[in-house]
Amino acid sequence: MTREEVYARLNNVFREVLDDDSIELHDETVADDVDGWDSFEHINLIVGVEDEFGFKIPMGKVVTMKNVGEMVDIILEMGK
Amino acid sequence: MSIVSFGFYILVFGGTILYYCIPQKIQWVELLGLSLIFYFFAAEPYTIIYLVISTLVAYFATITIEKQRNLSNSKSSVTAIITAVAILVNIGLWFILKGGALWQPVVQKCISHGFWTERLATYGTRMVAALGMGYYTLQIIGYIIDCYWANIKPQKNPLKLFLFVAYFPQLTTGPISRYSQLEDIFTGHSFEFRNIKFGAQRILWGLIKKLVWAERIGVIISGINNDFTTYHGFYSWIMILLYPLQMYADFSGCMDIILGVSELFGIKLQENFNNPFFSRTSQEFWQRWHISLGAWAKDYVLYPLLKLKMIVNFGKYARKKFGRKAGKFLVNLIGMFILWMVMGIWHGGWRYIVGVSLWYWLILMMGELFSPVFKKIQVCLKIKTDNFSWHLFQSGRTYLIYAIGATFFCCGIHRAIELFKDVLRVIFVKGYANPWIFFDQSILSLNVTYVDLNHIIVGIVMMLIVAVLREKYGYARIWIEQQGLVFRWLVWIGLFIYILIWGNYGPGFSASEFIYQGF
């Protein structure tokens, strides 16, 4: 899986969970940059990512990821 | 030994000189020694046993967790059980020693037998909790969970782990640090003049907030609180509206001292305040006020709770059944309730459960429920929201919401309700209002002088200026550092003289305990 492929699927997850088709994610994107990405939606996004990619993200990673770039790194690492 | 006492600053002064004279490898040992000295002077010495128990439980639990993980190469149910037991031991200790206000009235009601009620009362008054128990308990629980999540490696040296628990600047009032943030205490630090300069400046600013302003506001608050029959009507308004300012000057002043002292050793603790009264919403307020508590509760309570299979499935079902927004609202309702209950229970009393937990849960849920209606009203009335006056209105509203919750905090549930009734009487009962107290000298009967009142006004203006500078430059100190030599020295010498003359310290004065020191 390439980084670009992860981004394409991740954009879809975010758009679906947050109900906003204009979302375009980047490595530096943080919760404050995306409308509606609060603590509650954070977990919905994580669950959406888990459903999309087919693996569980460990809780420790859920609380420490600082931006979308780190989320993509985790997905790439877990998907190996 | 309080952190505003002379003895504390002798300890800090001597400790700082020694810190930069000894090899960096053993600087942490000195910090451990300073922490022990501080503890023995600041608390009942024997209560240190509770810190030792917490540390040892965390130490053996995390070492075993790592061994188990290496054996099975993944998380096993054994590691989960060890984690749960270690957390429960820490919570249990806290609950017995610190949560007495929560369980004693309930147990006393349940036990009708006089003998047991008496025994319980005697036991309750004899119990002495460890200093800063509420803070270090959360820290140690966070440490255990981080090890369980494999976010950090367990500390192999129990003495270093004990230092993480008992690090003296933050022991009494936080901030609640994570292990990864505080690992810096074990590494050596070379002398940097900027750390000493910024540390000392911050301590000075904290002392001014506490000894000049918070103490004076406190006199007014306790004067009204102690005699509601004399002080009613607009005095109730004064009390409700002024208490958040006392809390802010007291708690953030305490934080300034703590962060400043730590900075002297080159160790930067996390910020606990970020101009909370500039917040536009209550949600934002709690991201700017007592930041470390909110962040702790979010990471170690809210996220694991929301990720429980049961809650995830309920969320999916609710979204399917009631739609995206309503589904989210229902999950929020449960998650927020538990999160705010944890925040309230941590404060250790029913008044906090009402003033912090239930009040904020209600406000945030109402806000979410009615936000579409508010937005429609804004559009219909063509209210411009992108301007200063709207921000001012929002911040005022957030302040008022906090003030109402803090009233429970300040004077208990029954008295708070009486105060709110009194506030309403001023508006609705003819002839009850007493506006003359603002113009005649009756306010001086609260044991304050006009000079004290002027200091409070000066304090509010100065805290506002510093807050604005912080919004713009990160810290007011950085802005001052950029100014010319004469201006810089004028500011710092001026502030030093200000506290020397007007600070409530020395013989005849006894600074009251910091409000947040009790938790």
Q: What is the pTM of this model?
A: 0.88
Give the contacts of A9 (CB within 8 A, at least 6 positions apart): A52, A53
Q: Å from B150 to nearest chain A CA? A: 7
Query: Which tens digit of pLDDT belongs to each residue from B347-402?
Result: 877 888 888 888 989 998 998 888 889 889 988 988 888 889 999 999 999 999 99
Cβ-defined contact of A43 to B304 (cutoff 8 Å): no
Query: Which tens digit of pLDDT belongs to each residue from B125-176?
Result: 556 777 888 899 999 999 999 999 999 999 999 999 999 999 999 998 889 9
pLDDT of amino acid B345: 86
Residue A60: list chain B partners with CB under 8 A.
Answer: 146, 149-151
Residue B142 has what DSSP assignment?
H
A39, A41, A44 ranked by CB distance to B298: nearest = A39
B273 backbone dihedrals φ, ψ, rounded to 5°: -135, 145
pLDDT of amino acid A35: 85
On whether the CB atoms of residues B443 and B217 are closer than 8 A, the answer is: no
**Centroid of chain to Cα B2:** 17
* Cα separation values, B370 from B317, B362, B363, B373, B401, Å: 23, 12, 10, 5, 16
* Mean pLDDT for the stretch of residues B421-439: 88
Residue B173 has what DSSP assignment?
T
Tokens of B350: 């029913």
pLDDT of amino acid B226: 87
Residue B293 CA to residue B346 CA, distance in Å, equals 10
Tokens of B285: 């307020």
Query: Which tens digit of pLDDT belongs to each residue from B441-499?
Result: 888 888 888 999 999 999 999 999 999 999 888 888 889 999 999 999 999 999 999 99
Burial class of residue B364 (count of CB atoms within 10 Å of its CB; 0-12, 13-18, 19+)? buried
DSSP lists the bridge partners of residue B289 as B273
* Mean pLDDT for the stretch of residues B250-273: 94
Q: Find, in chain B, the residue whose alpha carbon is nearest to that of A62.
A: B303
Cβ-defined contact of B328 to A41 (cutoff 8 Å): yes
Cβ-defined contact of B303 to A43 (cutoff 8 Å): yes
Q: What b/e readout covers B167-184, taking b as 16+ CB neighbours within 10 angstroms?
A: bbbbbbbbbbbbbebbee
Q: Å from B374 to nearest chain A CA? A: 17
The label of the residue with tokens 């306790």 reads: B222
pLDDT > 90 in chain B, percent = 52
Q: How many CB atoms lie within 10 A of CB B450?
A: 10
Confidence of residue B57 (pLDDT cuts 50, 70, 90): very high
Interior CA angle at B334 toward A57 and B323, to 5°?
Answer: 80
Q: Which of B73, B288, B306 to mutate to test the interface with A (most CBs of A within 10 A)?
A: B306
* Mean pLDDT for the stretch of residues B82-89: 95
> In this structure, what is the dihedral angle of CA atoms B134, B135, B137, B141, given to the nearest 10 degrees?
130
Query: Does B151 contact chain A (CB < 8 Å)?
Result: yes
On whether the CB atoms of residues A68 and A27 are closer than 8 A, the answer is: yes
Which of the residue ranges B3-7, B92-96, B118-122, B460-464 would you say has the lowest mean pLDDT?
B118-122
* Mean pLDDT for the stretch of residues B68-79: 78
Q: Which amino acid is it at B174?
A: G
Residue B378 CA to residue B395 CA, distance in Å, equals 17
Chains A, B: CB contacts within 8 A come to: 40
Q: Among B287, B217, B156, which Cα is nearest to B447's?
A: B217
Which of the residue ranges B106-110, B216-220, B360-364 would you say has the lowest mean pLDDT?
B106-110
A40, A44, A59 ranked by CB distance to B304: nearest = A59
Q: Which amino acid is it at B323?
A: G
pLDDT of amino acid B508: 60
Tokens of A78: 């877990």
Examine the pLDDT at A38 and tell me if it is beyond 90.
no
A44, A46, A60 ranked by CB distance to B150: nearest = A60
Query: Does B282 contact chain A (CB < 8 Å)?
Result: no
Residue B64 CA to residue B59 CA, distance in Å, equals 9
Residue A79 CA to residue A73 CA, distance in Å, equals 10
Examine the pLDDT at B512 and tell me if it is beyond 70.
no
In angstroms and rounded to an integer, the radius of gyration of the C-alpha atoms of chain A is 11
Give the contacts of B162 (CB within 8 A, at least 6 positions apart): B32, B51, B52, B55
Q: Å from B171 to nearest chain A CA? A: 25
In sign, the C-alpha dihedral spanning A65, A69, A73, A76 is positive
Measure the N-to-C terminal CA separation of chain B; round to a whole number of Å.
17
Q: Å from A16 to nearest chain B CA? A: 10
Cβ-defined contact of B151 to A60 (cutoff 8 Å): yes
Confidence of residue B85 (pLDDT cuts 50, 70, 90): very high
Q: Among B39, B38, B32, B43, which Cα is nearest to B7's?
A: B38
pLDDT of amino acid B202: 95
Q: Å from A14 to nearest chain B CA? A: 14
* Mean pLDDT for the stretch of residues B243-258: 94
Query: Does B330 contact chain A (CB < 8 Å)?
Result: no
The CATH number assigned to the domain with range A3-78 reads 1.10.1200.10
Query: Which tens digit of pLDDT belongs to each residue from A54-65?
Result: 888 888 888 888
Q: Is the ipTM of this complex over 0.85?
A: yes
Interior CA angle at B212 toward B206 and B217, to 5°?
Answer: 110
B272 backbone dihedrals φ, ψ, rounded to 5°: -110, -10
In angstroms and rounded to an integer, the radius of gyration of the C-alpha atoms of chain B is 25
Q: Å from B149 to nearest chain A CA? A: 5
Query: Does B302 contact chain A (CB < 8 Å)?
Result: yes
Give the contacts of B155 (CB within 8 A, at least 6 positions apart): B59, B62, B161, B164, B179
Q: Among B375, B323, B348, which Cα is nearest to B91's?
A: B348
